[in-house]
Amino acid sequence: MLFVAPLLLLTILFGLLVTAILVSGKTSFISAPGVLVAGILIYGATLFVLSLTGVSSIRELEDLGRRDGLSGLPNRNALHQDFKRYAQSDEEAAMALIDLDGFKQVNDHLGHFVGDQVIRYCGDVLEEICGKEARCYRLGGDEFAILMLGPVAGTILEGMCRNFLDRLEAPVPIGERRLAIGASIGLANSKGSDDLSSSEMLRRADVAMYASKRSGRMRCTWYTTDFDRDREAVQELDDDLRKALADEEFALHYQPLVDASTKKIVAVEALIRWNRADGKPVGPHLFIPVAEETGLINPIGLWVLRQACTDALGWGEIKLSVNISAAQLRNAEFPIKLGQILEETGFPAERLELEITETCLVMDPIIAERSLEMIRGFGVNVSLDDFGTGYASIGFLRQFRFEKLKLDRSLVVQAGDDDGSRAMMLSSITLARALKMGVTAEGVETEAQAELVRTAGCDQIQGWLYYKAMPADQIYGLLEEQSAEDAGAAHLRIIN
């Protein structure tokens, strides 16, 4: 390629010279046939050098602009052009958008060199799976696409995508390393929609891909028009949440946790409430997932932490539990902000417990481990919330070492109904005890459930049987009563 640029420049200069001569009419010092011969020679030399450097035709030069340099696969331009060609036929066209999971962590922690190898590996696997039946593309970053045309393109394409996910079940071998890489896939089909542009197909596949990511990754999802309606609803709720944060419409309630044997309040869990201006109640199970998706959970979560630390400052020695979302833990700034809040409010770190769910760990184990290490460095405890609803992986319990395990209400309820669930609850408690964790049973509503979890070995109980969540001032009142009772009991002991 080094020769090409000077030769092209020479050809252009020569062209300019010939034009200047023709315009000025002074052809006397160079004969016309001479000019022609020299021109042909330079053109021939340019073609010769181009063929020597491997770029033997203009077509190949064009092709270079349609290829991704790293993976060697066709690129985004090629996808759009191919789709336009496909759209001219009457056959069904199907498109898959593939986004790798865990790729950013590989790049951040192991460097771009390793990241590049992962991209090449995935590109090769996709090419192998597509064979001659479909065409695969790298769109940029960790995004790939597959395009397919034919009578049952959608069905075959979905099969290919599932095949790709199966291949990623095994760790990706890069040199000595074995890397856990996943993928979320969105699928879109031209069937039933006339005149779909390539951008619209890509948008639909993208929307479906995000649905795959939301529902736990390593899956394929087909686009449906419902997704667009859901997106509008999410957008609307996001706008309302932003306003709510600015207008201070959020409040915190606190639910007491009692000691399983003494039934005294030993901790409180902060639970967010949204007092909407229009009076419509919206529970955290509805708005927290939206805030997580749009990133608004970061400022909301910091508000919760600051407010809870301020409220609980005067509540004696009891612990304060605050829920932390996966998106917050993924944010590298979070541990720093937590440190600032502890300093600003003066809240003792040893009284604070952060509740996280398994989702935090499954999605980004590397980042989660690093953030948890920093958090523990302050002296803050970490609890695993909603245990029994997700993957419940014993490996996670060993890897992350939590100070407390919180058994989800569903596990507690089922344990009262069937032997299998009871066995699972008992073995979870035994395991947690062996790993030196405290165990709290959540959502206890009846005396029978309380008795069951108490005898099973839970040391704390949370549930409506004892207390519902309530505003901060009521907690203060309860704690006052509790310490008055304690003082009374101590007084009686002294008298007796």
- How far apart CA 278 and CA 100 sit, in angstroms, is 41
- How far apart CA 174 and CA 181 sit, in angstroms, is 11
68 binds Mg ion (CB under 5 A): no
Length of the chain (residues): 496
Residue numbers 389-448 binding ligand C2E by CB under 6 A? 409, 442-445
353 binds ligand C2E (CB under 6 A): no
* Binds 365: which of ligand C2E, Mg ion, none (CB < 5-8 Å by kind): none
- In a 13 Å sphere around the CA of 487, the CA atoms on its Cβ side amount to 6
Beta-sheet pairing, 135-140 with 143-149: antiparallel
Residue 75 structure tokens: 């690129």
- Judged by CB under 6 A, which of 464, 477, 480, 486 binds ligand C2E? 464
- Judged by CB under 6 A, which of 161, 237, 456, 469 binds ligand C2E? 469
Of 211 and 272, the one with the shorter C-beta distance to ligand C2E is: 272
Q: Which residues, 6 or more positions from 264, have their beta carbon under 8 angstroms from its beta carbon?
A: 258, 482
Q: Which residue bears the tokens 């030993």?
A: 266
For the CB of residue 233, give the shortest distance to ligand C2E in the complex, in Å.
19
Q: Which residues, 6 or more positions from 366, have their beta carbon under 8 angstroms from its beta carbon?
A: 105, 109
385 binds ligand C2E (CB under 6 A): yes
Site track for ligand C2E across 260-299, x = CB under 6 A? ----------xxx----------xxx--x-----------
386 binds Mg ion (CB under 5 A): yes
Residue 495 structure tokens: 């008298």
Residue 287 φ/ψ region, left for φ over 0, alpha for ψ in the -120 to 50 degree band, beta for the rest: alpha
Of 145 and 265, the one with the shorter C-beta distance to Mg ion is: 265
User: Residue 147 to residues 62, 85, 160, 232: CA-CA distances in angstroms?
Assistant: 21, 12, 11, 28
304 binds ligand C2E (CB under 6 A): yes
Of 224 and 345, the one with the shorter C-beta distance to ligand C2E is: 345
381 binds Mg ion (CB under 5 A): no
For the CB of residue 450, give the shortest distance to ligand C2E in the complex, in Å.
10
68 binds ligand C2E (CB under 6 A): no
- How far apart CA 295 and CA 334 sit, in angstroms, is 13
- Fill in the DSSP letter of residue 269: E
Residue numbers 324-363 binding Mg ion by CB under 5 A? 355
- Judged by CB under 6 A, which of 71, 184, 325, 460 binds ligand C2E? 325
Residue 149 structure tokens: 């045309």
Residue 281 structure tokens: 């109640």
Determine the Cα angle at 397 with ends 394 and 399, to 5°. Answer: 110
* Binds 288: which of Mg ion, ligand C2E, none (CB < 5-8 Å by kind): ligand C2E
* Binding positions for ligand C2E, rule: CB under 6 A: 255, 270-272, 283-285, 288, 301, 304, 323-325, 355, 385-386, 409, 442-445, 462-464, 469
* Binding positions for Mg ion, rule: CB under 5 A: 323, 355, 385-386, 442
